[in-house]
Amino acid sequence: MTRQELAQKVKAKYPELQGSDDETVVAGVLDQYPEYSAYLSDEDIGTNYVIESAKQFGLGAVETVGQAAEGAVINLSLGMANEAMSEEEFYNSPESLKNVSYDRYVRLNDIKLEKQKKGMEFADSIKSWTEEKLPEYINANEEYGNAFAGQVFRGLGQFLGYGAVGAAGTAVGSPVGGVAAVYGTAFFNRQIEFLEDAEQTLGLDLLEMDKDTRDKVVGGSWAYGLTTGALDATVFKYITRVPGANTPTVKNLLSNLEEDKEYLLDS
């Protein structure tokens, strides 16, 4: 049975689908009942795999750029404010030298915290769009996406995302700007990975954690992002032969982590 024949049979049984195109109908059937693929000819199954592979490839590219944007927004938001100090802490801090009363300090800090919350909500919306809404919009097959082949094509798409970011950085600045853009994107992607794992492990959103815990998680995400992100970007540079590939960026980043050795051992 061809895909068109399957679509026509479904439309015959459900007249309300007559206005839908055949591919949408077939994709909907296979998404809900994957076993129906057994009734399609090998050629049609192969065509479906090609389409799904292309979707995963595209999702990987968008995911790379989306996670970089999410990471940038989260870091910007985290730098906006911290929980308000107690009155005693306030008067023992440099803040008290700014001729601002404690009550005014608390009010101003609350405004910053509200902006921080909105920033984090925006970061969540970026994640929701790239990980949930976009796959749903293009009707990507979740089962295929979780399969080995789907993961391979998604990974290849991520390389496309790095390439697009690198090309944009090169166009705006220079080859050095392109390399910096790739490294920054890789860092944010890996940092987001660390933060999401920490939130899942602790069962708390980042802003729900107490300050000490949040500081440790964020610090750990920076260390993880610097090391693994640098390695990711270096692999990309060597594979694609990006100018400046011999720059010892990974070595420099790793040497900078010496300053954080005590913190990493404690955590």
Half-sphere exposure at residue 175, Cβ-oriented, CA atoms within 13 angstroms: 9
Domain ranges in the chain? Answer: 41-266
> What percent of the chain is modeled with pLDDT above 70?
82
Quote the DSSP letter at residue 94: G
203 pLDDT tier (thresholds 50, 70, 90): very high
* Predicted pLDDT at 220: 92
* Predicted pLDDT at 233: 74
Question: pLDDT (tens digit, 9 = 90+) per residue, 235-252?
Answer: 766 666 554 444 434 444
Assess whether pLDDT exceeds 70 at residue 213.
Answer: yes
Distance CA 174, CA 176 (A): 5
> Could you tell me which residue, 14 or 176, shows the higher pLDDT?
14
* Predicted pLDDT at 42: 52
> Could you tell me which residue, 50 or 126, shows the higher pLDDT?
126
Residues near 199 by Cβ (< 8 Å), separated by ≥ 6? 205, 206
Average pLDDT score, the chain: 80
49 pLDDT tier (thresholds 50, 70, 90): confident
Question: pLDDT (tens digit, 9 = 90+) per residue, 121-138?
Answer: 999 999 899 888 999 888
* Predicted pLDDT at 59: 92
Give me the long-range contacts of 150-156 (CB less than 8 A, separation at least 24): 150/52, 150/53, 150/56, 151/56, 153/53, 153/54, 153/56, 153/57, 153/60, 154/56, 154/57, 154/59, 154/60, 154/63, 155/60, 156/57, 156/60
Question: pLDDT (tens digit, 9 = 90+) per residue, 77-118?
Answer: 888 888 888 888 888 887 666 678 889 889 998 999 999 999
pTM (2 decimals)?
Answer: 0.62
57 pLDDT tier (thresholds 50, 70, 90): very high
* Predicted pLDDT at 162: 83
Are 30 and 40 in contact by the 8 Å Cβ rule? The answer is no
Least confident window among 31-40, 198-207, 211-220, 235-244: 235-244
Question: pLDDT (tens digit, 9 = 90+) per residue, 169-196?
Answer: 778 767 777 778 888 888 888 899 899 9
> Could you tell me which residue, 232 or 79, shows the higher pLDDT?
79
* Predicted pLDDT at 264: 46
